[in-house]
């Protein structure tokens, strides 16, 4: 059987892309190099900021760059493409039209995973960038499955943006207590589970070894799906 090759449209952000590559290795059941998946990783860090453009269309548009990157990955032999960035999925349909290979949707995969794995799921908390929340990407995915999406208050949204942009992306120390307080506040709104709908938040989960079963990491879900699509076996369950 022909080997499947994963194309990673990365750089959005760079640290999240590197962590995604690490997850691919750690989550694959392999006892030698040859048992791991093959991937083409494009860590294109100069792609314009996604949230800036979503909130203000006069800002530089990331779509032309991301579309060209997707085409490049296809030319290089990728069988399908993933984007380890939730906010970038605002452009999902437009990028998919530019290539002839599947573009895996992290948001659809994550909400579907939650539906299958959270017993009696009714309300799902969404922690994400202001761009993702404003685009209603997760809200639509939830509502199409009769799940009530719960988004942070304006105050918590501002705090999350500070953590994402001024701490994780900036390579600074993360205010872990603030991060966990946002999770607890969202959970106390009656949510059955919380989605980390920004891949910078996935980095925090890893760095602080958060293992709560009610926290669903979109990056882990995407890595799991990528490994399955490449025909490999999972070493860990999430």
Which residues are designated catalytic? 85, 198
Q: Using CB atoms within 10 A of its CB, is residue 146 exposed (0-12), middle (13-18) or buried (19+)?
A: exposed
E strands, 53-106, are 80-82
Long-range contacts of 61-65 (CB under 8 A, 24+ apart): 62/12, 62/88, 62/91, 63/91, 63/94, 63/95
Spatial contact of 11 and 47, defined as CB atoms under 8 Å apart: yes
Q: What's the rounded Cα separation, in Å, for the pair 114 and 182?
A: 20
Q: What is the crossing angle of helices 176-187 and 199-207, to 10°?
A: 110
How far apart (Å, rounded) are the C-alpha atoms in residues 105 and 114? Answer: 14
- Beta partners for residue 215, in sequence order: 194
Please give the C-alpha separations between residue 196 and each of 23, 68, 206, 218, in angstroms, as whole numbers: 16, 28, 12, 6
| The residue to which tokens 């979503």 are assigned | 54
Coil, strand or helix at 195: strand
């Amino acid at each position: 059987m022909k080997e499947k090759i994963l194309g990673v449209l990365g750089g959005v952000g760079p640290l999240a892309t590197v962590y995604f590559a690490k997850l691919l290795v750690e989550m694959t059941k392999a006892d030698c190099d040859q048992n791991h998946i093959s991937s083409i990783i494009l860590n294109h860090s100069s792609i314009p900021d996604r949230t800036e453009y979503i909130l203000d269309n006069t800002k530089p548009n990331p779509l032309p760059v991301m579309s060209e990157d997707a085409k490049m990955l296809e030319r290089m032999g990728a069988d399908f493409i993933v984007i380890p960035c939730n906010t970038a999925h605002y452009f999902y349909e437009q990028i998919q039209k530019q290539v002839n290979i599947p573009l895996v949707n992290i948001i659809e995969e994550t909400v579907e995973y939650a539906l299958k794995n959270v017993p009696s799921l009714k309300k799902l908390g969404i922690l994400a960038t202001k761009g993702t929340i404003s685009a209603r990407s997760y809200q639509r995915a939830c509502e199409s499955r009769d799940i009530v999406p719960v988004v942070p208050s304006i105050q918590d949204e501002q705090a999350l943006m500070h953590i994402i942009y001024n701490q994780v992306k900036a390579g600074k120390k993360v205010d872990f207590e603030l991060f966990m307080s946002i999770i607890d506040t969202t959970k106390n709104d009656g949510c059955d589970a919380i989605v980390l709908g920004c891949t910078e938040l996935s980095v925090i989960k890893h760095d602080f070894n958060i293992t709560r079963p009610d926290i669903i990491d979109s990056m882990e879900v995407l890595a799991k799906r990528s490994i399955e699509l490449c025909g490999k076996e999972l070493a860990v369950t999430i």
